[in-house]
Amino acid sequence: MKTSQDKFDLLQRFIRWREKHITNKQFILILSFLVGIFTALAAYVLKFLVEYIKEFLTENFDPMGANWLYLVYPVAGIFITSLFIRKVVRDDISHGVTKILYAISRKQSRIKRHNIWSSVCASAITIGCGGSVGAEAPIVLTGSAIGSNLGSVFRMDHKTLMLLVGCGAAGAVSGIFKAPIAGLVFTLEVLMIDLTMASLLPLLITSVTAASVSYLLLGTEAMFQFHLDYPFSLERIPYAIALGIFCGLVAWYFTRSMNWIENIFRRYSNPYVKFVIGGAMLSILIFLFPPLYGEGYDTISLLLNGETSEEWNTVMNNSLFYGSTHLLVVYLILIILFKVFASSATNGGGGCGGIFAPSLFLGCISGFVFSYVCNEFHIGNTYIPEKNFALMGMAGLMSGVMHAPLTGIFLIAELTGGYDLFLPLMIVSVCAYLTIIVFEPHSIYSMRLAKTGELITHHKDKAVLTLMNMESIVETDFLKVRPDMDLGEMVKRISQSSRNLFPVVDVNDELIGIVVLDDIRNIIFRQELYHRFRVESFMKPPKAPIISTDSMEVVMKKFDQTGAWNLPVVDEDNKYIGFVSKSKMLNTYRQVLVDISAE
């Protein structure tokens, strides 16, 4: 106990010293540097664990036939992960990026401390044992948790915590992919942190620091080796546009299917039922299609570097399809169709992982299949390099699934060093994004929050309304009256109140009307009427009452539709809570706007 108190006192002394000698802006830069170091180290640990577990389990597999252990390892992985989450962590750590978005919009950017380590452990077990998900979303949650908790330790304010959460996410993407520009763009585009001069420098420092640490630990080579054999030419632009549209449609299929499968898993509350369904689905799919095992980066490397049919056909190694070279395209199309089932089964059954890697995996195969089919059936008179279009497909799928075309462009360029294909990467990414927004206005990360009005966007008005909450604007100092009170009792209530509104409630405290002082001002001084009128005779029905669970956007719409200056607030059972005034709401709105706009 004494040691804990000593540490607390030491921290307090440091905070006081820092406030005197280091300005807030300078200290934020120091914290962003530290966040970059810690997130890169966390990314390195996670990558090491995933690769070590995978190599340990699969190094003796026979490439020339089916391996029955594919039916065992994925099931064991999600079972161990599920037990770890339920018995050790005792919290939901799935949907990492969605949790960050929610923390920014509703929790003052405070992320629970266990997320610093829990996502790393859970995702390493899941992916290493074959879970068909990616390690990137868990490491992004880990990085944001590092930023949030580091800021909390030093008593930083809400706005700084939000920035440090963004720094953690940028550092995680930068560190695990060795892609500093993509880390910065991801934070701005997906987490929707506003770009100002005050936020740009810390984000850059974190991204560059994390990438530098990764270079020191893993070398300076790009994550995927790619050699450009066929430079992009103008006659391939129509094919790039067509690939973008194709990737947008695949992203739409992936998004809709994942939501549908997740909704099926939500119907079951028993974790063991979820495990049986998810484990059976995942193990069977991986047994039939071994490329679905883990992140799938081996398949990506193969398609990006293979040049002949003999090399491409090795994608069917370890499976029942081994040697069936004429079924290559059919095999890859089936993988495109079933990848979403494998990823959803992994998370739904109790595993932990994200959709970064599945997006890259699906995009690579989609681009390869597109170009392979064009070449085999001589669609047009132009040769379509399979490896180039596999690379471009990665950018297209990521842009479509995440609604983040800039992230797709820069990430793929940095992942592979394929800067010579920057123009076609842009074409495919933009076309994929424009295709999917026709069907899905929100990304797979943000659609859950958008449905409940809890999503912060770059739309300043909506962002401000999202950051406001009902507790900060509801006023409760109104005196309640009963409908059976006579005018004399009403006058006594008026003398006790400083308000000109009086909610009328029944015996169950349910709101049934409102008395406005101006409506009865002409009779409150006539004592002969005190026992003649009752409240129920001069009360008004409430105008568009606000439900306590309404979003601020809905509240503003109710004010605009009614033209009222005050609206009552009730819970879902119509029990009276208080009033919201337009003036209080506008004052709060202005204060939040000033807070998020200040440099």
CB 517 within 8 A of CB 538: no
Please state, in angstroms and rounded to a whole number, the distance separating the CA atoms of residues 201 and 205: 6
Could you tell me the CA-to-CA distances from 15 to 10, 49, 186, 403, 528 in Å, in that order? 9, 36, 32, 40, 69
CA angle centred on 281, ends 398 and 352, rounded to 5°: 55
For residue 294, give the nearest of 498, 74, 599, 523 by alpha carbon. 74
- The pLDDT of residue 209 is 97
Say if residue 461's pLDDT is above 70.
no
pTM for this structure? 0.78
Q: What CA dihedral angle connects 408, 410, 413 and 417, to 10 degrees? A: -150
The DSSP H or E segment spanning 343 is helix 328-348
Of 49-63, 178-192, 440-454, least confident by mean pLDDT is: 440-454
Residue 493 token pair: 């209530």
Distance spanning both ends of the chain, measured CA to CA = 41
Say if residue 453's pLDDT is above 60.
no
Question: What value does the mean pLDDT take over residues 146-153?
Answer: 93
79 against 528, higher pLDDT: 79
Q: Can you state the percent helix, strand and coil of the chain, rounding each to 5? A: 65, 5, 30
Map out the domains of the chain with their CATH numbers: 23-218 (1.10.3080.10), 234-454 (1.10.3080.10), 462-597 (3.10.580.10)
Instruction: List own/partner pairs for 66-71 with CB under 8 A and 24 or more apart.
Output: 66/287, 66/318, 66/319, 66/320, 67/287, 67/290, 67/318, 68/287, 70/130, 70/283, 70/286, 70/287, 70/290, 70/293, 70/318, 71/283, 71/284, 71/286, 71/287
Of 200-209, 463-472, 561-570, least confident by mean pLDDT is: 463-472
pLDDT per residue as tens digits for the range 70-104: 999 999 999 999 999 999 998 888 877 877 877 77
CB 292 within 8 A of CB 335: yes
Please state, in angstroms and rounded to a whole number, the distance separating the CA atoms of residues 416 and 387: 12
CB 165 within 8 A of CB 148: yes
Of 163-177, 189-203, 471-485, 522-536, least confident by mean pLDDT is: 189-203
Question: What is the band of 114 on the pLDDT scale with cuts at 50, 70, 90?
Answer: very high
For residue 405, give the nearest of 456, 443, 455 by alpha carbon. 443
Please state, in angstroms and rounded to a whole number, the distance separating the CA atoms of residues 581 and 559: 9
- The pLDDT of residue 457 is 47
Residue 412 token pair: 């793929």
Say if residue 124's pLDDT is above 70.
yes
Please state, in angstroms and rounded to a whole number, the distance separating the CA atoms of residues 189 and 148: 19
The residue type of 491 is V
- The pLDDT of residue 599 is 43
Provide CB contacts within 8 A for 586, sequence distance 6+.
none
- The pLDDT of residue 3 is 65
Q: Mean pLDDT in the chain? A: 88
Question: What value does the mean pLDDT take over residues 153-180?
Answer: 90
Q: According to the 3-state scheme, what is the secondary structure of 220-267?
A: CCCCCCCCCCCCCCHHHHHHHHHHHHHHHHHHHHHHHHHHHHHHHHHC
pLDDT per residue as tens digits for the range 215-262: 999 998 888 888 888 888 899 999 999 999 999 999 999 999 999 999
Could you tell me the CA-to-CA distances from 596 to 195, 196, 362, 456, 458 in Å, in that order? 11, 10, 38, 12, 12
